Amino acid sequence: MLIPRVEADRPSAAARALPVEVLTHLVRQSPWLMATRALAGPSLELLGAVARLPALGVRLGRDMFRNPELGEFLSAAMER
């Protein structure tokens, strides 16, 4: 999973994302899953399992647009 954020004035970078960061991102992207009491528990359990999978936080700066090796950059970051 990639967790992107754009920070145009900073250089592009990538680092492993902690499970808590991934879970926070997932919940923010799918708040309706928590809106129904009957679905909240199973949804949180599922999102928690996904959050424990390997994930990469990616900061995208302006330099990314000049980087034709975007795929290699992300692939190398995932291997770290």
Enter the tokens of residue 29. 């992207």
Q: How far apart are CA 5 and CA 25, in angstroms?
A: 11
pLDDT (0 to 100) of residue 18: 96
Q: How far apart are CA 75 and CA 73, in angstroms?
A: 6
Q: What mean pLDDT is predicted for residues 15-29?
A: 93
**Confidence label for 19 from pLDDT (cuts 50, 70 and 90):** very high
**Mean per-residue pLDDT of the chain:** 85
Q: What mean pLDDT is predicted for residues 54-59?
A: 91
pLDDT (0 to 100) of residue 77: 67
Q: What mean pLDDT is predicted for residues 18-22?
A: 96
Would you say residue 72 has pLDDT above 90?
A: no
